[in-house]
Amino acid sequence: MLIDLAEETTKVKHDALIFGIPELRITEASRTLPGPEDVDNWLEPLVQQLTKPLTSKEKRSGKWAPENPRILFEGTLDDAQAFYQQTENLPGILDAPFSMYTDGLPIIVPTEEKVKEMLTGTSHKPDEIITVQRDNEVGMDTIRIRRKKGEVVQFMPMYRTATVEQVAVNAVMAGCKPEYFPVVLAIAESGGGTGDGRGGGGSFVVSGPIVKEIGMNVSYGRGSPGNPPNITIGRVGRLLWRNLGGYKETVSTIMTYGGGGGGALLHGEYAEGLPPGWKGLNEELGFKKKDSILMSGGGGAGGAGGGGQFWMPGVYRALQKSGHGAIARWLDVKGIPGPHNFLDYLLDGMWACREGGVTLVMIPSMAKDLWDVGFKTKDSVYEYIYKKSFEPLKRYRMRGRPDFATNGWMGIERTSGKHWKELPDDYMIPVCPDPWSNCIILAHGEETVLDRGGGGHGQGYSIDAWR
Amino acid sequence: MASKKDAIYQCLSPVGNQEPVDMSPIAPRLKSLDGKTIHLSICGEPDITIPLEKRLKGDYPDVNWTVKKTYNINPIQLSEEERKTTDGVILGVCW
């Protein structure tokens, strides 16, 4: 017997089919009733389901093997566009239309010729199954999954697999050029932005020579309209989630995440702007400076919006040029020209309404300001942020995520080695779990502002492996 | 000769491969719960699972209830040995 929350039954039945027990018996609990009252409503029927004889349908076995023809449509380009854009109405989203093959936008029609052209962007064979190219570990909080080189990548939420050609079809549909394809394949290797099925399209940072080769916009305005690689590669994650993963809101996933619109988050790192001694993301993740890599799952991923003090760019300039303005007053350096350590000001209130690491997207002159005040490596910045994040356990207990992240406070607190329930109220807990949870990404630009978010360091995937 | 607008193209599927699945019937039901070992696999939703555990143990005292709990979404698996000695499982709350 399985107990779910009422509106999840469509999704649960869907999963039961994928796992080969389509007639799994389900009892529906309430999202709103108090627990004792809710349990009272369905306890007896629940227990009866353990003894109620099986129906003939429940006794049935067989094979579920949905067809997936390689050629999906044959016709004119206009008819093909209409075919790929067809929608179905989903009751779970109040009968709103939901695209059957796209992210909701028009696409480039994936003709045989276009897909063949896309495949010139890689040396990998069209029928090769997407596999992990080197050992890695993915996941969040206490849920971590180790993946071995050669392991077949499964696209969630339907645990599907894909060939290089099927990824190429989606890349064509997104509007990518063949030279972007190795990046797209690395995105596919990472799971294609599908996560555990509620992926949202992913969060990706590209680091290394390929950033320049394909002309990514690495400026602070990297998400703005106009740059083909950023926009089209950024779109791929959503198509892979829909088509390879089989995402269908309220049908193949519960309606928890994936909101917010927009495309996948995609950055290209501006490594030329790093101060001496600061490593690029490729080197931070264990690759070489000459390697082109994709960082997936970090770098400003959703669900962990930034906090801390904001400022107008001129206020920052005034601080560093002459020691004037609000930041100078806060730092008590009025009238003293910079460089000044602006991290103290930035981090004030950073964790007021969130936990976790801090991802900063900053321009070169601000990185240089940090370098000038003594942060000779990125690691020293990460360590500094981590040390600033401690707060008393009494306050930490009031936060939203630790109930989940600590498995209901049942485990051991890492910094003390003691059980959570043995620690005194004034024990200091790091709200940022470790220095590596922080991340700096350089963007080109002159305006002295910076983006802050969560995500930290994700997992690195070789783009070169997919050339 | 047909114009480009009228030309016929073969267009490929963007959909991933769904591996074939062997479908199984659900497990045979028990004749009675008395004296049987029923496992309660708890994941999350303590406001439901705490009263549920209390009620099951109180209302069905002749059942040998075993319990594993986690706050996370992935249930704690039964060992091979435990599977051999367990007659039924209630799993939840799934979310």
Task: Check CB contact under 8 Å for B11 and A83.
Answer: yes
C-beta atoms of B9 and A80 within 8 A: yes
DSSP state of A161: B
Same domain? For A426 and A371 the reply is yes
Is B5 contained in some domain? no
Those of residues 11-50 in B touching chain A at CB distance below 8 A are: 11-26, 28-33, 38, 45-50
Q: Where are the alpha helices (DSSP H) in chain B?
A: 46-59, 80-85
* Cβ distance of B15 and A80 shorter than 8 Å: no
Preceding peptide of A172 cis, ω within 30°:
no
Residue B74 lies in a domain: yes
| Residue A260 pLDDT greater than 50, yes or no | no
- Of A33-37, B1-5, B23-27, the one with minimum mean pLDDT is B1-5
Q: CB-based burial of residue A149 (10 Å sphere; 0-12 exposed, 13-18 middle, 19+ buried)?
A: exposed
Q: 3-state class of A459 per DSSP?
A: strand
Is residue A243 within 8 A of residue B12, CB to CB? The reply is no
Q: Are strands A203-207 and A265-268 parallel, antiparallel or unpaired?
A: parallel
Between CA A97 and CA A87 the distance in angstroms is: 6
Kindly state the average pLDDT of the residues A330-358.
93
What DSSP string describes A321-385? HHS-SHHHHHHT-TT--S---THHHHHTTTTSS--S--EEEE-HHHHHHHHHTT--SHHHHHHHH
Look at residue A97 and tell me if it is in a domain.
no
Q: Do A61 and B24 touch (CB under 8 A)?
A: yes
Residue A255 pLDDT exceeds 90: no
pLDDT of A302 strictly over 80: no
User: What number of H helices and E strands is found in chain A?
Assistant: 17, 17
Q: How far apart are the C-alpha atoms of A189 and A191, rounded to whole Å?
A: 5
pLDDT band at A142 (very low <50, low <70, confident <90, very high): low
Q: Give the global pTM.
A: 0.91
Indicate the residue of A22, A109, A111 with minimum beta-carbon distance to B23: A22
Structural domain includes residue B57: yes
- The answer to whether the CB atoms of A58 and B25 lie below 8 A apart is yes
Residue with tokens 């109405």: A89
The answer to whether B31 and B87 are in contact (CB under 8 A) is no
d(CA A211, CA A224): 17
Q: Are A466 and A168 in contact (CB under 8 A)?
A: no
**B91/A2 CB distance under 8 A:** yes
- The band of A135, judged by pLDDT with boundaries at 50, 70 and 90, is confident
Best A2, A3, A143 residue to mutate vs chain B (most B CBs within 10 Å): A3
Residue of A nearest to B11 (CA): A111
Whether residue B23 and residue A25 make contact (CB cut-off 8 A), yes or no, is no
Distance from CA of B6 to the nearest CA of A (A): 6
Q: Are residue A156 and residue A193 in the same domain, yes or no?
A: yes
**Same structural domain for residues A299 and A324?**
no
Q: Can you tell me the distance from the alpha carbon of A281 to that of A269, in angstroms, rounded to the nearest whole number?
A: 8
Residues A371 and A349 in one domain: yes
The pLDDT, as a whole number, for residue A308 is 84
Q: How far apart are CA B47 and CA B51, in angstroms?
A: 7
Q: How far apart are CA A463 and CA A121, in angstroms?
A: 12
pLDDT at residue A62 tops 90: yes
Best of B6, B13, B59 to mutate (most A CBs within 10 Å, chain A): B13
What lies within 8 Å, CB to CB, of A285 at 6+ separation is A207, A293, A295, A457, A459, A460
Set of chain A residues whose Cβ sits within 8 Å of the Cβ of B71: 403-404, 406-408, 410
Task: Please report the pLDDT score of residue A261 as a whole number.
Answer: 45
* Same domain? A319 vs A277: no
A209-224 burial, b for 16+ CB within 10 Å, e for fewer? ebbeebebbbbbebbe
The answer to whether residue B94 neighbours chain A at the CB level (below 8 Å) is yes
Interface A–B counts its CB contacts (< 8 A) at 220
Are A143 and A253 members of one domain? yes
Give the DSSP H or E segment for A463.
none
Is B26 in contact with A23 (Cβ distance < 8 A)?
Answer: yes
Instruction: Give which of B24, B26, B52 to mutate to test A binding, by max A Cβ within 10 Å.
Output: B26
A chain contacts of residue B31, beta-carbon cutoff 8 Å: 51
| The predicted structure's pLDDT at residue A293 | 96
Whether residue B31 is contained in a domain is answered as no
Does A290 share its domain with A195? yes
The range of the structural domain enclosing residue A357 comes to 313-456
| Number of domains chain B contains | 1
Strand partners, A412: A419
Beta strand A136-140 with A143-147 is antiparallel
- Let me know whether A140 and A264 are in one domain: yes
List chain A residues with CB under 8 Å of B75: none
Per-residue model confidence as pLDDT tens digits over A73-123: 999 999 999 999 999 999 888 899 999 999 999 999 999 999 999 999 999
Q: Which residue in this structure is represented by tokens 């005292």?
A: B61
| Count helices and strands in chain B by DSSP H and E runs | 2, 5
Average pLDDT over every residue of A4-29: 91
pLDDT digit string, tens, across residues B57-81: 999 999 999 999 888 778 899 999 9
User: Do A221 and A331 belong to one domain?
Assistant: no
A62 → closest Cβ in B23, B55, B92? B23
Whether residue A2 contacts residue A13, with contact meaning beta carbons closer than 8 Å, is answered with: no
Q: Is residue A101 part of a domain?
A: no
Q: What is the pairing mode between strands B64-70 and B37-43?
A: parallel
Give the pLDDT of residue B95.
60
Is B10 within 8 Å of chain A by CB? Answer: yes
What residues does B21 pair with on adjacent strands?
A64
Residue that is last in its domain, among A14, A40, A59: A59
**ipTM for the predicted complex:** 0.92
On whether residue B45 sits in a domain, the answer given is yes
Helical ranges in A373-454 per DSSP H: 378-387, 393-396, 402-405
pLDDT category at A306 given cuts 50, 70, 90 is low
pLDDT band, residue A141 (cuts 50/70/90): low
Q: Where are the beta strands (DSSP E) in A317-400?
A: 359-362, 390-392
Chain B's closest residue to A108, CA to CA, is B11
Looking at the complex, report in whole angstroms how far the Cα of residue B55 sits from the nearest Cα belonging to chain A: 8
Residue B61 structural domain: 37-92
Helices (H), A127-221: 164-174, 181-189, 210-213
Instruction: Let me know whether A285 and A380 are in one domain.
Output: no
Of A42, A59, A76, the last residue of a domain is: A59
With CA atoms as reference, the chain B residue closest to A242 would be: B15
B12 is a domain residue? no
CB contact under 8 A, B7 and A72: no
> Cβ B11–A72 below 8 Å, yes or no?
yes
Contact (CB, 8 A) for A421 and A393: no
Query: Which residue among B22, B72, B90 sits closest to A3, beta carbon to beta carbon?
Result: B90
CB contact under 8 A, B21 and A169: no
Burial class of residue B68 (count of CB atoms within 10 Å of its CB; 0-12, 13-18, 19+):
middle
**B92 and A143: CB-CB below 8 Å?**
no
Q: Specify which residues A71 forms β-bridges with.
A: B12
| Co-location of A368 and A227 in the same domain | no
Contact (CB, 8 A) for A441 and A205: yes
Identity of the residue in A17, A46, A53 whose CB atom sits nearest the CB atom of B90:
A46
Domain membership of residue A219 (yes or no) is yes
Question: How many domains does chain A fold into?
Answer: 3
Length of chain A: 467
State the pLDDT confidence band at B49, using cuts at 50, 70 and 90: very high
State the best of B4, B5, B8, B15 to mutate against chain A, taking most chain A CBs within 10 Å: B15
